[in-house]
Amino acid sequence: MATRPYDVLVIGSGAAGLTAALALAQEHRVLVLAKGALNSGSTAWAQGGIAAVLDAGDTFENHIRDTMIAGAGLNRQETVEFVIERAPQAIERLRELGVPFNTEGPNLHLTREGGHSHRRIVHVDDATGWAVQAALLKAAEEHPNITLLPNHTCIDFITGRHEVRYSGSGRVWGVYALDTLTGRVEAHVAHVTVLASGGAGRCYLFSTAPRGATGDGIAMAWRAGARVGNMEMMQFHPTCLYNLEVKNFLITEAVRGEGGRLINPRTGKRFMEFYDPERLELAPRDIVARAIDSEIKRFGLDYVHLDISHKPADFVTGHFPTIHEKLLSLGIDMTTGPIPVVPAQHYTCGGVMIDLDGRTDLPGLYAAGECTESGLHGANRLASNSLLECFVFGDAAARHILANWDSFEAPPPICPWDESRVTDSDEEVVIKQNWTEIRRFMWNYVGIVRTTKRLERAQHRIKLLNGEVNEYYAHFRVSTDLIELRNLLQSADLIVRSALKRHESRGLHYILDYPDTNQSPTDTVLVP
Ligand code: FAD
Ligand code: SIN
C-alpha cells in the first residue's frame, strides 16, 4: 500500500534530518521517518560540542587550516570553507531554538579538543547532543507542517523501477519502510527525499555509536545507484571507557582539552611525547588512537589510563557532570583517580557523495550529515566538526529544494511492496550469528592498523556471507534485524573495497604494506 504523498520525505530525525525538516516546513509538508525512537541516533549522544569561530582571537582561516591538517589534505577546500564560514550562523539558529549553551559572562564558553589550535567548541556541559536533539525535536513536534513517524525502518529507495508504469530511471520517489509496530511494509512517496540516516559504526565490534548506526542509508543509496566515497576513512575515538559491563561509553575529548593526560598503567608514564611531542594528548584523533593501540599491543595491556585527577575536583565535576556521575555509578571517581580507556570506532568519515547543495547522484535524492561524503572531513574528521556539518548541509539541502521546487514533479503511481514469495523466518539465529561475525572480523581485520592480507581475508568472509544473507533476504519476511544485517554487510563491503583501493597510508587509513603518503591526495570513489 502507498501512503498519501508528502511534499518532502526526510529519513532520519537527528541533527541533519531535523535541520532540513524545519527549514523545508516553512513552505512544504514534511514527513520524517526514523528507525526506533526519534532520539535514538548519534546526535543525542554527542558530548564535546560544536566547533565554531566565535572568539575574537580566532579566525576562519585557523579553523580551516586545523580541519585540513586533521583531514591529511584529503578535504575539499571549497567544502571546508563553506561549512566553517556558516558555523556562527548555525550556532545562532540553535540558540534561537533554545539550546542552553554554557556561557562565561556575556559570551559562550568555548572548550578545546584535539587538533584545534584555539578554544572554539561551544557546548552544553558534557552532554551537548542531548540538548541539541531535544531542542530540534521540540521545534519539529510543534510545527504544523511536520509529521514525525518513529519505528519505521526504511528498506530501499523507490525509484523508476517501482513505478506502476515502469520507467527504470534512477529518479527517487521515496522509500519502502517497515512499520515495526504493525509488521507491514508501506511505500512512503514524496516529490523529494532527504537522506539523513547517520553512520555505519556498528560494522565494528567496539563502537561508541548507537545500535542503529548500521549504514542503512549508505547501503540504500549505493543499491539505488549513487556513488560513495572514502569509506575506508573510519574514525576511531581514542578514549572509550574500558568496562566489562558498559561497552560503548565515550569519554569526551574535552577531558584531554581541559588537561587530561594519557598514562601507560604499566610504566606510570605519559606516553604521547613519544608519538607527537608537540601536540601530545591534543594531537588529531588518528594519531592519539594509533598511539594508544601501539602501547596496548607493545605492553600487552587491556587499556591505558586517562587522568584528570590533578585538576581541582570542582573543576572536573563542573566541566564533566554527566561523565563523572556515570563513572561513579561504575565505581570510578575521576576526581581522585584515572579512567581506563581504549580506542573504539566512532565516526564514518565517508559516505554518499554530495555537492554543496546536498545533491546526490540520484535525481530527487538529497543527503546530509554522517551518511555523506561532503569533502569536509577528508581522511580524518576534526573533533566537533560533524554536528556542524549536519546543521550546514541540512540547511543547504533545504534551501536548494525550496529554490528549485517547481522542478520536482509529483510522484507517479508506485507498486506496493511484494511479499508474495516470502514466509516468516524460522531461523533468527542466522541473523544474530552473521551480525556478530561481521563486527568481529571488521574489528580484527579492518581496524586501526591494516594490512592487505587482513583486508583480503575480510573480503573473503564478506563474499561468503553475501550469498547467505541474500538467500535469507529473498525467502523470509523482513525484520529490522534482517534489514540492518543486509546493510551492515553492504557497508562492510564498501569499507573493505575502498581500503583495498587506497595504496598509501593517509589519516585514518594506516596500512603496513603502504606506509608512505602519496603526494597528491585522491578520493576513493566507488561507482555502482
Ligand atoms: P544521527 O543523529 O545518527 O541520526 C540518524 C537518524 O537516521 C536516526 O533518526 C535514525 O533513527 C535514522 N535512521 C537510520 N537508519 C534508518 C532507517 N533504515 N530507516 C529509518 N530511519 C533510519 N560530533 C560532534 O560534532 N560533536 C560531538 O561532541 C560529538 N560527540 C559524539 C559522541 C558520540 C558518543 C557519538 C557516537 C558521536 C559523536 N559525534 C559528535 C558525532 C555526531 O554525533 C554525529 O556525527 C551526528 O550526530 C550525526 O547526525 P546525523 O543527523 O547525521 O545522524
Ligand atoms: C568528543 O566529545 O570527544 C566527541 C567529539 C566528536 O566526536 O566530535
How close is the Cα of 386 to the center of ligand 2, in Å?
Answer: 9
pLDDT, one tens digit per residue, over 514-528 is: 999 999 999 999 999
45 lines ligand 1 (CB under 6 A): yes
pLDDT above 70 for 497: yes
Q: At 259, is the secondary structure helix, strand, or coil?
A: coil
- Phi, psi angles (nearest 5°) of residue 464: -65, -45
Does the 240-343 domain belong in CATH 3.40.50.720?
no
CB 237 within 8 A of CB 257: no
Instruction: Name which residue leads in pLDDT, 60 or 420.
Output: 60
pLDDT, one tens digit per residue, over 271-315 is: 999 999 999 999 988 899 999 999 998 999 999 999 999 999 999
Q: Which of the ligands is closest to the CA of residue 288?
A: 2
Q: Which of the ligands is closest to the CA of residue 20?
A: 1
How close is the Cα of 43 to the center of ligand 1, in Å?
Answer: 4
Q: Residues 428-452: what's their mean pLDDT?
A: 93
How close is the Cα of 381 to the center of ligand 2, in Å?
Answer: 10
pTM listed for this prediction: 0.96
Neighbours of 299 (CB within 10 A): 13
Which of 197, 249, 347, 371 gets mutated to test ligand 1 (max ligand atoms within 8 A of its CB)? 197
174 lines ligand 1 (CB under 6 A): no
pLDDT score of 181: 96
32 lines ligand 1 (CB under 6 A): no
pLDDT range class, residue 422, cuts 50, 70, 90: confident
User: Counting every residue, how long is the chain?
Assistant: 528
- Which residue's C-alpha comes closest to atom 28 of ligand 1? 48
How close is the Cα of 368 to the center of ligand 1, in Å?
Answer: 11
User: How far is Cα 62 from Cα 118, in angstroms, rounded to an integer?
Assistant: 8
Which of 247, 386, 478, 490 gets mutated to test ligand 1 (max ligand atoms within 8 A of its CB)? 386
Mean pLDDT, all residues of the chain: 96
User: How far is Cα 38 from Cα 139, in angstroms, rounded to an integer?
Assistant: 13
How close is the Cα of 46 to the center of ligand 2, in Å?
Answer: 7
195 lines ligand 1 (CB under 6 A): no
Handedness of CA 89, 91, 92, 93 (dihedral sign): positive
pLDDT score of 421: 81
Neighbours of 374 (CB within 10 A): 26
User: How far is Cα 430 from Cα 465, in angstroms, rounded to an integer?
Assistant: 11
Which cell numbers hold the place of 144? 504544523
pLDDT above 70 for 3: no
Judged by average pLDDT, the poorest of 139-148, 240-249, 343-352, 393-402 is 240-249
pLDDT score of 384: 97
Residues with catalytic function: 285
Q: For residue 81, what is the enclosing H or E element?
A: helix 77-85
- CATH number belonging to the domain at 3-233+349-407, selected among 3.20.20.140, 3.50.50.60, 3.30.70.270, 3.40.50.300: 3.50.50.60
Q: Which of the ligands is closest to the CA of residue 15?
A: 1
Which cell numbers hold the place of 424? 516468516
pLDDT, one tens digit per residue, over 30-78 is: 999 999 999 999 999 999 999 999 998 999 999 999 999 999 999 999 9
250 lines ligand 1 (CB under 6 A): yes
Sorted by where each begins, the domain ranges of the chain are 3-233+349-407, 240-343, 428-521
Q: Which of the ligands is closest to the CA of residue 45?
A: 1
Task: Provide the 8-state DSSP code for 161.
Answer: G
pLDDT above 70 for 1: no
Handedness of CA 120, 123, 128, 133 (dihedral sign): negative
Which cell numbers hold the place of 12? 532520519
How close is the Cα of 312 to the center of ligand 1, in Å?
Answer: 33
Angle subtended at Cα 380 by Cα 288 and Cα 394, rounded to the nearest 5 degrees = 130
272 lines ligand 1 (CB under 6 A): no
Q: Residues 455-481: what's their mean pLDDT?
A: 94
pLDDT above 60 for 16: yes
Which atom of ligand 1 lies nearest, measured to the CA of 175? 19
How close is the Cα of 47 to the center of ligand 2, in Å?
Answer: 6
42 lines ligand 2 (CB under 6 A): no
pLDDT above 70 for 121: yes
Q: Residues 205-231: what's their mean pLDDT?
A: 97
Which atom of ligand 2 lies nearest, measured to the CA of 381? 8
pLDDT range class, residue 2, cuts 50, 70, 90: low
Does the 428-521 domain belong in CATH 3.30.70.360?
no
User: How far is Cα 29 from Cα 191, in angstroms, rounded to an integer?
Assistant: 11
Neighbours of 272 (CB within 10 A): 23
pLDDT score of 427: 76
Nearest to 199 by CA among 79, 355, 352, 397: 352
Judged by average pLDDT, the poorest of 3-7, 252-256, 510-514 is 3-7
Which atom of ligand 1 lies nearest, measured to the CA of 487? 18
Which of 126, 128, 250 gets mutated to test ligand 2 (max ligand atoms within 8 A of its CB)? 250
345 lines ligand 2 (CB under 6 A): no
Q: How far is CA 76 from the centre of its chain?
A: 19
pLDDT score of 423: 84
pLDDT, one tens digit per residue, over 323-382 is: 999 999 999 999 999 999 999 999 999 999 999 999 999 999 999 999 999 999 999 999
pLDDT, one tens digit per residue, over 223-271 is: 999 999 999 999 999 999 999 888 889 999 999 999 999 999 999 999 9
CB 289 within 8 A of CB 236: yes
User: For 194, how many CA atoms within 13 A lie in the half-sphere containing its CB?
Assistant: 38
